Chain A
Amino acid sequence: AQTVTQSQPEMSVQEAETVTLSCTYDTSESDYYLFWYKQPPSRQMILVIRQEAYKQQNATENRFSVNFQKAAKSFSLKISDSQLGDAAMYFCAYRILQNSGYSTLTFGKGTMLLVSP
C-alpha cells in the first residue's frame, strides 16, 4: 500500500523563526510528484510547494523550501521567517501517474502549525 506519514501532529514556532515539518512516504513508483498543502480554518486547500521526483534540486517558493531525499523517501518542508498567517494544518501528499493516464493524491494525516507572536 502506498502511504504518507507525518509523524508530528503539532508543531509550534515563534514569529520570524524557522520551522521544519517532516514527511515520509512509501511508493514503489520511480516517477511521482510530492506536494505540501496548507489548510487554514477556512478549509480551502492551498498548494504551498511541489517537487518532481526526477528533479534532484530541491524546490523553493519564497519562504518555503523542501528537503527531498529520494532514497530515504523523505520530503520535509522548511518555513523560514514564520508569520502569523502561516498558522494552519499542513498536509504532505504525493501523486503518481497511473498507466491509465489518470492520477490521484494520497495525503498524510497532517501537522498543525501554531505560530506565536
Chain B
Amino acid sequence: DAGVTQSPTHLIKTRGQQVTLRCSPKSGHDTVSWYQQALGQGPQFIFQYYEEEERQRGNFPDRFSGHQFPNYSSELNVNALLLGDSALYLCASSLPGSQQYFGPGTRLTVT
C-alpha cells in the first residue's frame, strides 16, 4: 500500500516565478491538506481539499492556491514567489476528520 507521495523532492526557483507542487494521497484517502514548514519551525496549515473544493484555509495570501483532481491527488501553486516562501512543503492525506498521514515533503528554495 503506497503512502503519501510528493513531487518533486526539491526545486529551486527565482523570485517572482511561479511553482507547482504535487501530492498523491494514501490509497483510500479523499482529503488532502498542505502545510508549510519554514526552517526551524513547526508546520503551518495552508489549506485543505475535499471533493475537489477548498474546505479550510489557514492564514496565507491568495498567492497560494490549490487544486484537487477527481482521483484525489492535489497540487499546490504559489505565484510571485518571495524569498520568504523558501520552506519544506508537506502534504498530508486523510479521511475527513481523521488522522492525517504525511508525505516526505518538497523542499522549495527561492533565490
A interface residue numbers (CB < 8 A to B):
4, 37, 42-47, 50, 91, 93, 95, 97-98, 100-110
Contacts and interface: CB of A to CB of B under 8 A. Distances in A.
Contact of A102 (B50, B101, B105): B50
Contact of B90 (A45, A98, A103): A45
B104 A102 contact: no
* Residue among A44, A95, A104 with most chain B CB within 10 A: A104
A47 B94 CA distance: 14
A109 B58 contact: no
Interface of B: 31, 33, 35, 40-45, 48, 50, 55-56, 58, 88, 90, 92, 96-105, 107
A43 B105 contact: yes
Given A109-B41, A110-B42, A104 B102 contact: no
B97 A101 contact: yes
A103 B45 CA distance: 11
B45 A44 contact: no
A44 B42 contact: no
Given A97-B97, A108-B42, A109-B42, 12 more contacts: A42-B104, A43-B105, A44-B103, A44-B104, A45-B92, A46-B102, A50-B99, A100-B56, A101-B97, A105-B100, A107-B42, A110-B40
Which 5 residue pairs spanning A and B have beta carbons closest together?
A107-B42, A45-B102, A104-B45, A43-B105, A109-B42
Main secondary structure of the interface of A (DSSP, over half): strand
A91 to B, nearest CB: 5
Given A45-B90, A108-B42, A103 B104 contact: no
B97 A102 contact: yes
B41 A102 contact: no
B65 to A, nearest CB: 18
A104 B33 contact: yes
Contacts of A104: 33, 45, 48, 56, 58
A108 B99 CA distance: 18
A45 B90 CA distance: 9
Contacts of A42: 104
